[in-house]
Amino acid sequence: MPDPILNLKGVTKTFGGLTAVDDVSFSVQRGEIFGVAGPNGSGKSTLFNCITGIPFGPTGGEVTFKGVRIDGQRPHKIFRAGLARTFQKDAEFPDLSARETVALGGHYGASIRGSASNDATEKALDTVEFDNTRRDMKTADLSIYGKKQLMIASALVAAPDILMLDEPASGLTRPEIAALDALLLKVNQTGVTILIIEHVLGLLLSVSQRLLLLNNGAVLTEGLPEDVIRDPRVVEAYLGGAAA
């Protein structure tokens, strides 16, 4: 029985003459892990920006979250409604400890979600399996994977309905990707819907229940991961992307 938590209809984002996201429509079902793939520059991050309003919403189309239109809403309202994202770049506050970084996310999001910020912070750090030493470490001193875990904890502290991840596997070793895979499945099993962007297909194929492929800002195809990667147009889009 379909139960869409997020619905996009004709979402478009233009920058001057460039159409970075071109008439994109899809639905994410409550509880699933939904993957978005595509070559570099295909509009994946811009699509996330359009959904979360950070730093901007779409120039056209509709985004509906839990039955409410959110395109055009302020980013903090969208976040507090239960839609949290991570970014491609590293965590923002190199001098703060891991615990302080997650607590900041908690102060931003927890007031409306009703959780006590300290408890929520510790719980989010438990989820990403940070021990006490790492909780007190400066963000700048964490490993690449540690920073990714911290970004995920900073999003989870607000108890989101949807966790959106922008290329979380980039820069990670194979064992770290396997650990990330297990972490995402664990988070999903607690009832969090996950929307994940990856340029590298391995992680996406292993965690996603459905996969959408973007090319030049538009939806090339969408379906079960095993069907999507066999689509000759997908092979062409990736190989056509030269160094990709």
- In the complex, which residues of this chain contact ligand ADP (CB under 6 A)? 15, 18, 20, 38, 40-46
CB of 47 to Mg ion, least distance (A): 9
Q: From the list Mg ion, ligand ADP, none, which binds 46 (C-beta under 5 to 8 Å, kind-based)?
A: ligand ADP
Which residues in the 5-44 window bind Mg ion by CB under 5 A? 44
Contact between 170 and Mg ion per CB under 5 A: no
Q: What SS3 class is residue 27?
A: strand
Nearer to Mg ion, 44 or 135 (CB): 44
- What is the amino acid identity at position 162? I
CB 43, min distance to ligand ADP, A: 4
14 binds, among Mg ion, ligand ADP, none (CB under 5 to 8 A by kind): none
Q: Which amino acid appears at position 144 of this protein?
A: I
- Could you give the CA distance from residue 34 to residue 59 in angstroms, rounded to a whole number? 24
Nearest residue to the partner Mg ion, using Cβ = 45
Which of ligand ADP, Mg ion, none interacts with 223 (beta carbon under 5 to 8 A by kind)? none
- Of residues 152 and 159, the one with the C-beta less far from Mg ion: 152
Min CB(204)–ligand ADP separation in Å: 13
Query: CB 58 → ligand ADP: shortest distance, Å?
Result: 12
**Residue 164, helix vs strand vs coil:** strand
Report what 15 binds from Mg ion, ligand ADP, none; CB cut-off 5-8 Å by kind: ligand ADP
Single-letter amino acid, residue 2? P
Picked from ligand ADP, Mg ion, none, the partner binding residue 40 (CB below 5 to 8 A depending on kind) is ligand ADP
Bridge partners of residue 97, in order along the sequence: 138
Pairing of strands 68-69, 60-65: antiparallel
- Output the smallest distance, CB 229 to ligand ADP, in A: 17
Residues 29, 45, 73, 209: which binds Mg ion (CB under 5 A)?
45
**Listed residue (217, 213, 188) closest to 5, CA to CA:** 188
For residue 50, give the amino acid letter. C
- Which alpha helices (DSSP H) does 86-212 contain, by range? 98-113, 117-127, 132-136, 144-156, 174-189, 201-207
Query: Residues 204 to 223: which contact Mg ion by CB under 5 A?
Result: none
Q: Residue with structure tokens 């233009």?
A: 14
| Residue 225 neighbours by CB under 8 Å, 6+ apart | 35, 204, 205, 208, 209, 210, 211
- Among ligand ADP, Mg ion, none, what binds residue 239 when CB lies within 5 to 8 Å by partner kind? none
Count CA atoms within 13 Å of residue 178 on its CB side.
3
**Residues engaged in binding Mg ion (CB under 5 A):** 44-45
